[in-house]
Structure 1
Amino acid sequence: MWEYAASSFRLVAGLSPSLDVLAARLRLNIERGWEDLGAVDAAMFRIQKIDFALSRLEGSPRPDVFVWVGRANADVDVALGILLDALGIGEEALTFRGDIETGFVDLRSEPQA
């Protein structure tokens, strides 16, 4: 399912909590799928008419959970805010942010205020 659905999403951020913890908070089922790099666990869902997916590539050197937003959603900041509120976590849980066009910013390397 993920291999088919992934093209309708864009990667926008990473989260530090595990996929199991995040999925449990939203009562989601995690499905095992495949992509070019191997096995991937993913959960797809909708909150306030915004399509989201959370995924974790098996064997990835970084433990980040990838946050995907439906390509139809133009305001990623609003979408991320809605997701973080639903999960009950703050922006400190974000490990990176950005997109393929603008590039990604590693939030773990930025000085803490």
Structure 2
Amino acid sequence: MFQAATEPLISLALLAVDLDSVARRLRLTIEESWDEHGTVRAAFFTLEGTDFVVTHHERDPSGTCVWVRKSGPVDPAERTAVLLTALGVGSDAVSYSTWGMGTDLSRVPAAWGRRRGRPVESHQRFWENFRKRPGMYVGRVTYDGVTAYLNGYDHAGGGVLLNGLRQWLADTYQVGANLVWSAQVVQVVFPEGRPAEPWSQDQHRQAVDGLFALLDGFFEHLASRHGATPESG
């Protein structure tokens, strides 16, 4: 089903509304498939020029995951507001968002009431959950899959998660400051040189474990400077 999306998909939010309720409200047809981790259900539709995908995997938290096809700049709050308006629910229905706490929801209609009983997830909480269970986010855990997801999350959040990582790696481990951070990590984890492709499962595991250890060190560095690990807003 996801291969039917002609452009990359960007994760927007997890709604505290089950997929069947979303489908009934918007009169959608749910398609069902599976991967190596279980059953996935999804529906594809367009609202106000935005191509949405709503999904639920049997290993996901309860609720509905919301995605859009990337076509130019993405304003997560604006696109999510379009969907919430169509569903007739307020911002309190957003139990998690890729842009984290402190999002400007000023364009959300005042009639929604802005209840805050269920705040969106902070970047710190995202990192804690991602580190413990990366397979819930990326499926098969590979170094490329993990770094691509983190890059996408960082981009969607305006660069707040990984801002300063490249320079910190260069200063701390004397790796090339001209490299992207994922290449810098490979130099640190594999000091004798990047393994030849394709990587073995053990090499992917070593790279991912090394990445997580380095990110923990980076966030501890930020905490010592700013008192937050990583930024929570």
Q: Could you say which TM-score interval applies, normalised by the shorter chain?
A: 0.7 to 0.9
**CA spacing shift, 1:7–1:40, aligned 2, 3 Å:** farther
- The answer to whether 1:19 aligns with 2:35 is no
Q: How does 1:43-62 map to 2 (within 5 A)?
A: 43-60=43-60, 62=61
C-alpha distance in 1, partners of 2:40/2:6?
Answer: 11
User: What CA deviation, in whole Å up to 9, does each residue of 1:68-93 have, x standing for no partner?
Assistant: 01111521211111110001000101
The number of residue pairs the alignment matches comes to 102
The equivalences for 1:10-89 within 5 A come to: 10-60=10-60, 62-72=61-71, 74-89=74-89
Counterpart of 2:96 in structure 1 is 96
Deviates more, 1:28-37 or 1:16-25: 28-37
Asked whether the 8 Å contact 1:3–1:35 carries over to 2, the reply is: no
- Greater fraction of residues in helix: 2
Structure 1 range deviating more: 75-84 or 32-41:
32-41
Cα distance in 2 for residues equivalent to 1:94 and 1:6:
27
Partners of 1:4 and 1:34 in 2: how far apart?
A: 15
Higher strand proportion: 1
Contact 2:31/2:43 (CA < 8 Å) preserved in 1?
A: yes
Q: How far did 1:23 drift?
A: 0.6
Amino acid at match of 1:96: Y
Q: Give the letter for the 1:67 counterpart.
A: V
RMSD: 2.0
What stretches of structure 2 of length at least 5 have no aligned partner? 100-152, 162-233
Structure 1 range deviating more: 62-71 or 30-39:
30-39
Q: Tell me how far 1:35 sits from its aligned partner.
A: 3.6
Contact 2:13 2:98 in 1 (8 A): yes
Partners in 2 of 1:59 and 1:98 — Cα distance? 19
SS of 1:85 mapped into structure 2 = helix
Q: Give the % identical residues.
A: 32
Q: 2:38 & 2:14 partners in 1: Cα distance?
A: 19
Instruction: Give the structure-2-normalised TM-score.
Output: 0.40
Q: Tell me, in whole angstroms, the C-alpha distance in 1 between the residues paired with 2:65 and 2:3.
A: 15
Kept in 2: contact 1:13–1:66 (CA 8 A): yes
CA deviation after TM superposition for structure 1 residue 13, in Å: 0.4
Task: Using the TM superposition, give the Cα deviation of residue 97 of structure 1 relative to its aligned residue in structure 2, in angstroms.
Answer: 0.5
Letter in 1 for 2:83: L
Residue identity opposite 1:80 in structure 2: T
Larger Rg: 2
* Gap runs ≥5 in structure 1: 104-113
Taking a change above 3 Å as real, the CA distance of residues 41 and 15 of structure 1, as seen in their structure-2 partners, is same
